[in-house]
Amino acid sequence: MPPDPEEVSAGVFAALADTNRRAILASLAEHGASTATDLSGRLAMTRQGVAKHLALLADAGLVTSDAGTGRRVLYRHRSEPIKVAQSYLAALAADWDGALDRLSAFLADPPR
């Protein structure tokens, strides 16, 4: 069954509502695949805190993990759910009222 866009978007917005989780995603977007230790160092957060947020981000599909060399687990950010949420934002950002106000004004008083 395909994912439900509403469910995916809800997960994205909940995940992004937290400053620390936004910081983790931003850091993964900026630096690429990283370990929890890398993130903890870059963001001045405890490793436990980072791990907790990574688990939540993984639940929302925003982060995937794979085993790197040795016992290092690498986390990387996943953009698909964000793209779904983008549709939501696009629907909310569509400004037909503004455009149609301008159309009405133009029809009422076209410039010569």
Partner 1 sequence: MPIPNTITRTLDLAHPQEKVWGALSTLEGLTSWFGSKAEGEVAPGHDVLMRWEQFDGEQTLAIKVVDPMSVFAYCWGINGAPEGDPRRTYVEFALEPTASGTRLTVTESGFAQLPDERLEASYQGNTEGWRAELGELVAYLDAA
Q: Which residues contact partner 1 by CB under 8 A?
A: 2-3, 5-6, 9, 80, 83-84, 86-91, 93-94, 96-97, 99-100, 102-108, 110-111
Q: Closer to partner 1 by CB, 74 or 88: give it.
A: 88
Q: How far is the CB of 80 from partner 1 (least distance, A)?
A: 5
Q: How far is the CB of 95 from partner 1 (least distance, A)?
A: 9
Q: How far is the CB of 29 from partner 1 (least distance, A)?
A: 12
Residues 71 and 37: beta-carbon distance below 8 Å: no
Beta carbons within 8 Å of 31's beta carbon, 6+ residues apart: 38, 42
Q: Closer to partner 1 by CB, 48 or 101: give it.
A: 101
Put residue 61 in one of left, alpha, beta given phi > 0 → left and psi -120 to 50 → alpha.
left
Q: Closer to partner 1 by CB, 70 or 111: give it.
A: 111
Q: How far is the CB of 42 from partner 1 (least distance, A)?
A: 25
Q: Closer to partner 1 by CB, 9 or 34: give it.
A: 9
CB atoms inside a 10 Å sphere around CB 94: 10
Distance CA 18, CA 53 (A): 9
Residue with tokens 């405890």: 46
